Amino acid sequence: MSVSATLLVELLVEELPPKALKALGEAFADRIVRGLIEAQLVAADAEVTLYATPRRLGVSIASVLDRAPDRIEAKKLMPAKVAYDASGVPTAALTKRIEKEGVALTALSTKSEGGADQVWLEQSRSGVALAAGVQAALDDALAKLPIPKRMSYQRYADGVETTFQFVRPAHGLLAIHGTDLLDVRVLGIAAGRITAGHRFIGMRHVTLASADDYAKTLRDDGKVVAGFIERREFIRAQLDKAAGSDRVVMPDTLLDEVTALVEWPAVYAGTFDERFLDVPQECLILTMQQNQKYFALTDTSGRIVNRFLLVSNIETDEPALIVGGNERVLRARLADAKFFFDQDRKRTLESRIDGLKTVVYHNKLGSQYNRMLRVEALAGRIAQMLGADVVNAQRAAHLAKADLVTDMVGEFPELQGLMGRYYALHDGERPDVAVAIEEQYRPRFAGDALPSTSTGTCLALADKLETLVGLFGIGAVPTGDKDPFALRRHALGIVRILIEKQLRIDLATLVGAALDTTPSKELARDDVLASIVDFMRVRLAGYCRELGYTTNEVEAVVHSEGSIADLPKRLEAVRAFATLPESASLASADKRVRNILSKSDHAQGHALDSKLLTEDAEIALYAALGDVGPRSEKAFGDGDFTSALLALASLKEPVDRFFNEVMVNTDDPAIRANRLRLLSALHHPMNRIADLSKLAT
């Protein structure tokens, strides 16, 4: 009978890369659990605890069997009529197959399936022993870990020096089921009961008697908080406590990284000279976070204060030496930042423009100076379209890239644009020009804020469009999951700006204006324009689906002509229309009308002649259109798309009657052309807001 107990697996290694630790720990646990579930050694809903510290990856799984249950494995071999001749004697095909399977005829059975008899082989299979299951799961986990870069190292395994490859050299392995040690081996290391405690304040060797004792024993004897989530939340609580009345600047990425650097976290507070507060606080915060992994503090109004918090791997009652050492290091870092800031302000942004000529943007698209000229021209064009201040838009574009050649941005590229705003204000530039320089990259990611000013909006659109047309123009188009220039993000940013700021500019017009500035002649202009518009419509469709609309609803509106600013209203109208009992019939009719018209020019350029309407059904449809058309048209003109579509409901009966009683393609060419014009008149109000045929099932 199988025995159920807690399983613990831990791989002890040298210090793991902190930015990768969380992902490594999650993948290690996930692959082992998945392997044991597939081996039927544990239930899919078993309680799982993952462990990850700078020197270990581990997982604890409750209620794991020491052996999987035996099972019956059924395999369909071949149709009975192929397996046996008319006399019921096994054929050569069956004989060959059972020899291959290594079974006797008595192991076979015949079952009816889909009206035909099939020959099946049923065999009893012994359940997998836990050690074998863990070994397979561990091997799979180590092979598939998301390791940033593997390193080679040597160790003696079975008396022979062997080269292994892993993220870091491995030194120990735990594999304990309940109180039993499993016979498992990876990276030349056999599983044992000894793990390592904290390097400085814990027991060097910690012996585990039971899998259930792992976390507590390691904490009490080893001074190691093994659980990544537990350690992270402990650090968060200690940071909040140490902050007092101040607020901690605590990005998740920094909290994860610090959690990955310590095994027994202790939070201490330090200070720095108030004179450094003259430096923009974004620079100070970035210096603390990136260079030192410190947490900055702000007051209740959001202004940085001259205190910081550090997370140490050593707990002590006398932290003065630790705090003092970190204060000295931070002082030097902040002095560098202040020096960069002071030096940068000695020159205006305007005086740095020529320096952009030596900064390569792309070998086929020239320097950042060349790019600035294109963005400047395009920003002016967009400002004209939007009725914004053309002079301000062009001035912002002219200065937008100048901070690329400043010392501060050279040290912290993430501050590009932000430092441009500070330096522009220092130079006496107009406030909206300075703000636009900072806002040029918005939105930078999903959920990011849009530009707040009209000048910033013009510059952000121009910057993204120039990137799209330039790179599409030289054929640098995203493929699969590869998008090295973040063109998908640029396209989605344009979509968000146009829709959320209600800017009524047609996509093709916008892209066309950008193409007028591109230097690339490698691809035909019309081809590039069509490719970019299609590319942006894919992003547009994704944006609409994120709003909660179905694929059919999105497809009905995403290719609408004109501005995309009213797409949300069109989607609302389509959803309201779809709730009508008449919608399915009208959508099917629209699909039929579209197909008919696509095969004919339906006598374009000629007005419908009511005198040629001879059938009662077509006369009724004409009359209904005369009633519904103006009402729908007025609602459309008022921007009430929902009412414009709902007005079409009364067309269901005359449309159904028309298709039931009237032959469109009659022999009389004049009557046929007139009926096609009638269908064209029907098609217009039904598709002005959305392609209703996309709703047909």
Pairwise CA distance, residues 606 & 674, whole Å = 9
Percent above pLDDT 70 for the chain: 98
Reading the block at residue 639, the tokens are 């921007």
What pLDDT digit, counting tens, does each position of 428-476 carry?
999 999 999 999 999 998 889 999 999 999 999 999 999 999 999 888 9
In sequence order, what are the beta bridge partners of 113? Answer: 116
CB 505 within 8 A of CB 566: no
Please check whether the two domains, 350-546 and 580-695, share a CATH topology: no
CB atoms within 10 A of CB 690: 26
Domain 350-546, CATH class in plain words: mainly alpha
Does residue 394 have a pLDDT over 60?
yes
Helix axes 454-473, 525-546, angle to 10 degrees: 120
Pairwise CA distance, residues 394 & 380, whole Å = 5
Q: Is 114 left (phi over 0), alpha (psi -120 to 50) or beta?
A: left
Q: What is the pTM of this model?
A: 0.80
Indicate the domain borders of the chain.
4-68+129-220, 71-125, 229-344, 350-546, 580-695
Percent above pLDDT 90 for the chain: 66
Q: Which of 38, 40, 50, 41 is nearest to 140 (CA)?
A: 38
Pairwise CA distance, residues 101 & 94, whole Å = 10
What is the residue-averaged pLDDT of the chain?
92
Does residue 602 have a pLDDT over 70?
no
What pLDDT digit, counting tens, does each position of 331-360 carry?
999 999 999 999 999 999 999 999 999 999
Backbone CA torsion sign across 59, 63, 64, 66: positive
Provide φ and ψ at 171, rounded to 5°. Answer: -125, -15
* pLDDT (0 to 100) of residue 223: 96
Residue 7's SS3 state is strand
Least confident of 404-408, 496-500, 691-695: 691-695
What pLDDT digit, counting tens, does each position of 211-226 carry?
999 999 999 999 999 9
Does residue 685 have a pLDDT over 90?
no
Q: Which of 537, 527, 471, 542 is nearest to 506 (CA)?
A: 537
Q: From residue 635, how far is each of 134, 444, 563, 664 by CA, in Å?
A: 67, 37, 18, 30
Whole-angstrom Cα Rg for the chain? 35
Does residue 1 have a pLDDT over 70?
no
Pairwise CA distance, residues 404 & 441, whole Å = 14
What pLDDT digit, counting tens, does each position of 47-82 carry?
999 999 999 999 999 999 999 988 777 888 888 888
User: 519: cis peptide before it, omega within 30°?
Assistant: no
Helix axes 652-661, 616-637, angle to 10 degrees: 150
CB atoms within 10 A of CB 397: 30
Q: From residue 435, how far is each of 284, 399, 496 by CA, in Å?
A: 20, 12, 19
Q: Please give the residue that has the higher pLDDT: either 307 or 127.
A: 307
Torsion, Cα 498 503 507 512, to 10 degrees, reads -120
Residue 149's SS3 state is coil
* pLDDT (0 to 100) of residue 95: 87
CB 186 within 8 A of CB 143: no
| 8-state DSSP, 422 | H
Q: Is 275 left (phi over 0), alpha (psi -120 to 50) or beta?
A: alpha
CA angle 63, 69, 75 (to 5 degrees): 135
Instruction: Determine the CATH number of domain 580-695.
Output: 1.10.730.10
Torsion, Cα 268 273 274 275, to 10 degrees, reads -150
Q: Please give the residue that has the higher pLDDT: either 222 or 687.
A: 222
* DSSP characters over 655-685: HHHHHHH--SS-S-HHHHHHHHHHHHHHHHH
